Amino acid sequence: MTKDERLKIYDEATKLWGLVAQYDQCIEEMAELTVAINKYKRKVLYGEYENKDIVQSVVEEIADVKLCLEQIEYFFKDYDIDKVVEKKVQKLEDEIEYMKSKKK
């Protein structure tokens, strides 16, 4: 499916359920990803959670959040989000370089 096809579906969802419902859905999906990541950490790092499907759960929640984020980005299409992302990546890169220089 192309991005344009997905955007058309997002428009239909917004018409059907409304903008606020779409925002709420995104918040819910992000919360579900948070829970899935925490369960994954317990299984991998601490061995406390015994669920064989935990990796698939994380993958599913990542997909849900990506879908929602694309939709939210579409709602904010009048703003240059990519420019802000580039700025933040540059800031991260600068911080990495700074931390590396401290270790020398």
Q: What is the pTM of this model?
A: 0.83
89 in a structural domain: no
99 in a structural domain: no
64 in a structural domain: yes
Q: Is the model's pLDDT at 100 over the cut of 80?
A: yes
91 in a structural domain: no
21-28 own/partner pairs: CB under 8 Å, 24+ apart: 22/68, 22/71, 22/72, 22/75, 23/72, 25/68, 26/65, 26/68, 26/69, 26/71, 26/72
How do residues 37-88 score in pLDDT, each as one tens digit? 998 888 877 776 667 788 899 999 999 999 999 999 999 999 999 999 999 9
Q: Which domain holds residue 29?
A: 3-78
86 in a structural domain: no
Structurally, the chain folds into a number of domains equal to 1
85 in a structural domain: no
pLDDT at position 13, please? 95
62 in a structural domain: yes
* Count of CB atoms situated within 10 Å of the CB of 36: 21
How do residues 4-48 score in pLDDT, each as one tens digit? 999 999 999 999 999 999 999 999 999 999 999 998 888 877 776
| Percent of the chain residues past pLDDT 70, beyond the cut | 96
73 in a structural domain: yes
